[in-house]
Amino acid sequence: MTMVLALVEHEEGRLAETSQQALTLARDLADQEDAPLAAVVFEDDDEQVGFELASYGVTELYRVEHDRLDRYAPDARAATVHQLVDEHDPEAVVAPGSDRGHDVLGRAAARLGVPMAANCVEVTAGDGYEVTRHRWGGSLLEHARIDGSPALLSVAQHEVAAEEAEDGGSLTEHSFTPTLADSDLLVGIDRIEESDEEGVPLEEARVVVGGGRGVGGPEDYDKLEELADLLGGTVGASRAAVNEGWRPHDDQVGLTGAKISPDVYIACGISGAVQHMVGCKGAKNILAINTDPEAAIMENGEYAVVGDLHEVVPAITEAIREG
């Protein structure tokens, strides 16, 4: 049993939440294998990182140091993972199911010629690994067996609760300098552009008022905007509404849109297709407003009003103003 190797990311000098979740699953796997948990970090983070990782049970830390690695370069990261694998022969490489996690792990899998299981929620060691992973954004689970030395696994975001280790503590730091070819540095961030979007992003809004095909046209979103404004929230949309050209894609909630987690999601004229629901399953409450009492969203939500949104939404706005 050599080790389980985890890729981790940082946000503003702190271990990213999704990396904490990935580390929790990686540690569980290391415990099952009775193997040490190792982590690799690429960013020039301060000393804190070591403490944070240790509290998650990491005992070996590989700090990647290379004078040409001053920006995010996914092939260089994949090359590094490849070289660490060659040197240490881990049982598994675990990454967060984030954009960068998948960007790097997919490339590493290609280089290593091994399978990769994306968005795992559970892993059991045995004859190979038995994984439970998400399909269709989690509206379907796949149980599968993955062999490969190592097995490459990403961890679905916000599905495994992050838990620090009971006996986390000491950690040994190693500096690791990969051998990089020019081609490994061909793809890298050239610059960052800041967006000039104003207002609360959908992902962070406490209240989202969503409008679907039932809204009927772009003008009537005004009614939804008004209600959202009153509640300090923001407006979202279904893919049907975006496809009609009523709202920009940035407003789309769902599998190929934003994943929201507001205190309340008010879904107006939205039927509740699985691809929409996976985007709002993080909502603490769903209030559906729909003319069809049989609509699927009525089964998924906490509250419902049966009726025409064009009458119900302004009535709610009115009632709040009066109240």
Partner 1 sequence: MEALACIKRVPDTGAKIPLTDDQQSIDTTTLGFTVSPHEECAVEEAVQQVETHGGSTTALTLGPEEASEQLYTAIARGADEGVLLEAGDEEWRPTATARAIADAIEELERKFDLLLFGNESADTENYQVGPRVANELDVPCVTGIKDLEVTDGSAVAKREVTGGSEVYEVPLPAVVAVKEGINSPRYPSMRSRMRAKRQELTRMDPERVDGPTFERIRLEAPETDEGAAEVLGEGPEAAPAVVDVLEDIGVL
Q: What is the DSSP letter of 203?
A: G
Q: Which is nearer to ligand FAD, 119 or 271 (CB)?
A: 271
Interaction between residue 270 and ligand FAD (CB under 6 A): yes
Contacting partner 1 within 166-195 (CB under 8 A): 183, 186-195
Q: Which is nearer to ligand FAD, 20 or 271 (CB)?
A: 271
Instruction: For residue 185, give the 3-state DSSP assignment.
Output: helix
Instruction: For residue 301, give the 3-state DSSP assignment.
Output: coil
- Cβ at position 246, least distance to ligand FAD in Å: 10
What x-and-dash track marks residues 5-44 binding partner 1 by CB under 8 A? ----------------------------------------
Residue 161 binds: one of partner 1, ligand FAD, none (C-beta under 5 to 8 A by kind): none
Interaction between residue 51 and partner 1 (CB under 8 A): no
Interaction between residue 150 and ligand FAD (CB under 6 A): no
Contacting ligand FAD within 219-258 (CB under 6 A): 238-241, 252-257
In whole angstroms, give the CA distance from residue 205 to residue 59.
38
Helices 99-112 and 74-88, packing angle to 10 deg: 50
Q: Are strands 10-11 and 14-15 parallel, antiparallel or unpaired?
A: antiparallel
Interaction between residue 162 and partner 1 (CB under 8 A): no
By CB under 8 A, name the one of 16, 26, 64, 298 that touches partner 1. Answer: 298
Amino acid at 287: L
Of the candidate spans 2-10, 108-116, 169-177, 302-310, the one that interacts with ligand FAD by CB under 6 A turns out to be 302-310
Interaction between residue 298 and ligand FAD (CB under 6 A): no
DSSP of 248-285: -GGGBBSTTSB----SEEEEES----HHHHHHHTT-SE
- Cβ at position 101, least distance to partner 1 in Å: 9
Q: Which residues of 67-94 are buried (b: 16+ CB within 10 A; e: fewer)?
A: eebeebbbbbbbbbbbbbbeeeebbbbb
CB within 8 A of 29, min separation 6: which ones? 4, 91, 92, 94, 123, 125, 129
Chain residues binding ligand FAD by CB under 6 A are 212-214, 238-241, 252-257, 269-271, 273, 275-276, 279, 289-292, 295, 308-310
